[in-house]
């Protein structure tokens, strides 16, 4: 377990590429499932007023979008054989960033500005790592990989927000508009 964890940490530190990630289907499924569960838990715990169904929908749509866009990009570059390693690296590193967020969140306290700053730094680091993974998988420059990761993240977020529907603020939903 420790060597696998070290592979993801080294990818997050931009020392190794996604080609070193194990690609056994059970391992890939375990990484994707663990990322999904931790993302769901963290969003329900700290996400605000979203219902668990909205959170589950958002997480699933976001992850499916990342998986589909990655498959399309690899297909367009004719390197689809790299898909298992690439998707495992993307979701495995995202799992580490989500775990880091889960650890840092209680330490940040209730201050909204501290939480936003911490999550902003983690988001920037995550985009850089995703860009690095795409750079290695697609044989493009690091800058192109980061731009692709940024676009993929915006697209996944937009679809996720659209699919999960509007968040309902219960006290405000029952007021008269007369």
Model confidence pLDDT, tens digit, residues 137-159? 999 999 999 999 999 999 999 99
Note whether residue 104 is domain-resident.
yes
Note whether residue 94 is domain-resident.
yes
Q: What is the pLDDT of residues 103-149, one digit of tens each?
A: 887 777 666 677 778 888 999 999 999 999 999 999 999 999 999 99
- Among 4-8, 54-58, 74-78, 162-166, which stretch is predicted with the lowest mean pLDDT? 162-166
Measured torsion, CA atoms of residues 84, 101, 153, 41, in degrees rounded to the nearest 10: 80
Total count of domains within the chain? 1
**Which 8-state DSSP code applies to residue 168?**
P
Measured torsion, CA atoms of residues 91, 95, 98, 100, in degrees rounded to the nearest 10: -140
Note whether residue 121 is domain-resident.
yes
Please return the burial class of 21, using the count of CB atoms within 10 Å of its CB with bins 0-12, 13-18 and 19+: buried
**pLDDT of amino acid 177:** 41
Torsional class of 21: left (φ above 0), alpha (ψ -120 to 50), beta (otherwise): beta
* CA separation for the pair 43, 105 (Å, rounded): 11
Note whether residue 147 is domain-resident.
yes
What's the predicted TM-score (pTM) here?
A: 0.87
Domain extent at residue 152? 2-165
- Among 66-75, 115-124, 167-176, which stretch is predicted with the lowest mean pLDDT? 167-176
Residue 132 near residue 11 (C-beta atoms within 8 A) = yes
3-class secondary structure, 76:
helix
Note whether residue 109 is domain-resident.
yes
Note whether residue 171 is domain-resident.
no
Note whether residue 172 is domain-resident.
no
Whether 174 shows a pLDDT value over 50: the answer reads: no
Note whether residue 174 is domain-resident.
no
90 versus 120: the higher-pLDDT residue is: 90
């Amino acid at each position: 377990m420790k060597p696998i964890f070290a592979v993801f940490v080294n990818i997050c530190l931009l020392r190794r590429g996604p080609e070193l990630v194990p690609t056994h289907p059970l391992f890939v499924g375990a990484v994707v499932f663990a990322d999904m569960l931790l993302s769901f838990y963290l969003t329900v715990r700290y996400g605000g007023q979203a219902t668990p169904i909205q959170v589950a929908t958002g997480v699933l749509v976001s992850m499916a979008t990342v998986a589909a866009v990655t498959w399309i990009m690899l297909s367009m570059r004719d390197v689809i054989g790299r898909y298992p390693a690439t998707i495992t690296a993307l979701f495995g590193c995202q799992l580490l960033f989500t775990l880091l967020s889960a650890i840092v969140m209680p330490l940040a306290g209730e201050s909204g500005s501290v939480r936003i700053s911490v999550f902003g730094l983690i988001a920037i680091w995550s985009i850089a790592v995703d860009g690095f993974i795409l750079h290695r998988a697609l044989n493009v420059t690091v800058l192109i990989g980061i731009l692709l990761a940024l676009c993929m993240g915006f697209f996944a977020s937009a679809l996720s927000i659209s699919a999960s529907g509007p968040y309902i603020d219960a006290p405000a939903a029952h007021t008269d508009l007369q």
